[in-house]
Amino acid sequence: MMSSKFSFGKIKDLPKESGLAHKKAIILEKMGKLDEAIESYKISAEEGNVKSQYSLGKIYLSRKQYHEAERWYSMAFKNGHENAAYDLGNMYYDLEGYEYALYWYEKVAMEGNVKAQNNLGVVHYNLGDYLRSEKWLKIAADDNLGSACFNLGILYLHLEKEEEAIEFFKKGSVLLSDDCKYNLAILYRKNDNEKNAISMYKQLYRSAHAKGCYNMGLIMEINKDESEAERYYLKSCKSEFSKAQYRLAYLYDRQDRREDAIEYYEKGIEHDNPLCKFRLANLCNRENEIERAKMYYDLASNDMVEAKNNLAGLYFEEENYDKAIKNYDEAIVDGCKVSIENIGDLYDQIGDIEKAISYYQRNSTIVSSQIKLGDIFKRIDNIDEAIVWYEKAFENKDIYAAYALGLIYEYLKDFEEAKKYFIVAVENNHVNSRIHLGRIYYNEENYEEAKRMFDISANENNVYSQHMLGLIYENHYNDYTNAKYWYEKSKEQGCIESIYNLGQLSLKLGEIEESEKYFIEGVKKEDKNCEYMLAYLYYEKSKNIFKDLSEAHYGNSEKIYSTLLELDVDKNERLIAQFEEIMEEEEEEYIPQYILEVSENLENEFEKIESEMKIEY
């Protein structure tokens, strides 16, 4: 307990004016009239009133008038007010005048003041005198001062004596020191004793310890118990702890609790939390609240390069290219590789190919940039350079690059090289590569492999593949049932060559009426091949009728029949359908790459052990 050692006799000896001036000063101080209070305290203090002297010290200290504070505190201590020396020690401690702090703390520590003993230990620790620090802290700890136990724990941790530190943190925990409980929880978890760590954190929950509740929330989040994580984060948020506000907001964000997420993101933003600004901007971006998104990305952009990239992206989409370029360039200077590719996309989009190429080449180890370089060089007919970049992407196992290389070599009629790349793409389920490879095999008369390629794409409704399967079944397998099946499939999708081939196949099988039906269907689609064969069928029908009439000697039918020629029509002609790939889903409007996630390892997000000693005030 603090004490004020002065004589009641001295009070009796004070003039009545001194006592009245002191009482008046108290009233004025309570009214907030400090200047008038000071004058009244001085009248009393100069008459020897130790309480007035002490009060003057406190007022001047609050005003940071340290010389005056020392003058009156010193006078009060000389007149027996122990608290004055203690307060002077604290004043010098806060001013980092540790030698002076030692002087004043010792005055009262030697008299058994336990808080001064603790503070004396702290000052010795700050001055690097660990033996004296240990001595005074132990004296205070033996008197069951929780803060002294905490400080001893800090000392022993610094001296790498963890077992001793834990013992004093345990003692302090029994003495209800939250600081000790907190450090003990961290040490328990560090030593894989999560059960005891949780027990400590639960005690800290009851006293609303902000960092303790936050750390407990992280444990629950790691353990996938989001409802418990929410409970602990909420308790930490009551102390306005910014990190807890962020974790809680992000938890709500992932749960699509939009309004709750916004509430806590905004609380975190009030404490200048950059992750809250960034994630809220992402949320607004998702919700198409573009102006708000820009505002929050801008707020976060000084702390997070990802925010600057995303802000540039919004300007890019608005075709505000100057602002987009400015922000991308700044993000690139800060080391954002995504921005390098994005600005390349921007220059490509506005037709500045040289700049696009220069930025993509700066990202030349990234597959997406390699692909874009290949696409640009292919587009401008620089095939050799296109091959170089597609090859780099192919070496990085990119399947589109394999397909693109196959296309180039097929165009160059280097079918062996084309097959090499298409086969790799097919092995990775690239369906359009199957169609190209099937065509190459068909032209090589490798019908077995061609059929194997076309089977899958035909079943995905690719007209060309369906038609080619019809051809293979008819001409290679003589399987007219399956041939008709696949011709019919492609016919249903409007393939005119399949209609013609069905007519020819029916003719081959002697199904004249079927053949005529197909050719008529083709004629309706204005196909000359079908019209030609239909004319042939009608000619043959007319010829057969004149033959029958001539045998019956009807009119001049014999003369007409004798003039009818044998037509040289290729009944075995089969048409190949127009080549067609499986259509990719219609490409959406270009969207730059937004960075929506930042690397977060929850194990690295825990608040660390308290390592600073604390004095008692």
Helix axis angle, 290-300 to 274-286, nearest 10° = 160
Indicate if the alpha-carbon torsion angle 503, 508, 512, 513 is positive or negative: negative
The answer to whether 176 touches 154, Cβ cutoff 8 Å, is no
394-401: long-range contacts, CB 8 A cutoff, minimum separation 24: 394/421, 394/424, 396/367, 396/370, 398/367, 398/370, 398/371, 399/424, 399/425, 399/428, 399/430, 400/371, 400/430, 401/367, 401/370, 401/371, 401/374
pLDDT in tens, 157-181: 999 999 999 999 999 999 999 999 9
* Domain annotation covers residue 516: yes
Give the DSSP letter string of 487-514.
Answer: HHHHHHTT-HHHHHHHHHHHHHTT-HHH
Nearest to 60, CA basis, from 47, 76, 49, 48: 76
HSE-up of residue 206 (Cα within 13 Å, Cβ side): 9
Looking at residue 10, its pLDDT comes to: 43
Neighbours of 449 (CB within 10 A): 15
Q: How far is CA 569 from CA 212, 504, 538, 539, 566, in A?
A: 93, 11, 13, 11, 9
| Rg over CA atoms, the chain | 45
The token pair at 145 is 């001062």
* Domain annotation covers residue 314: no
Q: CB within 8 A of 199, min separation 6: which ones?
A: none
Say how far apart CA 415 and CA 435 lie, in whole Å.
14
Say how far apart CA 336 and CA 108 lie, in whole Å.
59
* Domain annotation covers residue 20: yes
* Domain annotation covers residue 135: no
* Domain annotation covers residue 55: yes
Looking at residue 19, its pLDDT comes to: 84
Answer with the one of 95, 111, 127 that is the final residue of a domain. 111
* DSSP state, residue 604: G
pTM of the model: 0.80
**Which SS3 state, helix, strand or coil, does residue 4 take?**
strand
**Main-chain dihedrals φ then ψ at residue 4, nearest 5 degrees:** -120, 105
Instruction: Identify the domain containing residue 511 by its residue range.
Output: 461-563
* Domain annotation covers residue 545: yes
Answer with the one of 519, 537, 563 that is the final residue of a domain. 563
Burial 227-253 (b: 16+ CB within 10 A, else e): eebbebbebbbeeebbbbbbbbbbbbb
pLDDT in tens, 1-51: 344 443 434 434 445 577 899 999 999 999 999 999 999 999 999 999 999
The token pair at 345 is 């996309």
Say how far apart CA 54 and CA 157 lie, in whole Å.
38
* DSSP state, residue 81: B
Nearest to 105, CA basis, from 152, 145, 137, 131: 137
The answer to whether 243 touches 212, Cβ cutoff 8 Å, is no
Q: How far is CA 438 from CA 149, 408, 568, in A?
A: 80, 16, 33
Say how far apart CA 338 and CA 457 lie, in whole Å.
35
The answer to whether 124 touches 154, Cβ cutoff 8 Å, is no
For the chain, residues with pLDDT lower than 70 are 1-16, 585-588
Say how far apart CA 344 and CA 372 lie, in whole Å.
9
Answer with the one of 515, 546, 563 that is the final residue of a domain. 563
* Domain annotation covers residue 553: yes
The token pair at 310 is 């995303």
What's the total number of domains in the chain? Answer: 2
CATH of the domain at 23: 1.25.40.10
Indicate if the alpha-carbon torsion angle 21, 23, 28, 29 is positive or negative: positive
**Which SS3 state, helix, strand or coil, does residue 161 take?**
coil
Looking at residue 6, its pLDDT comes to: 39
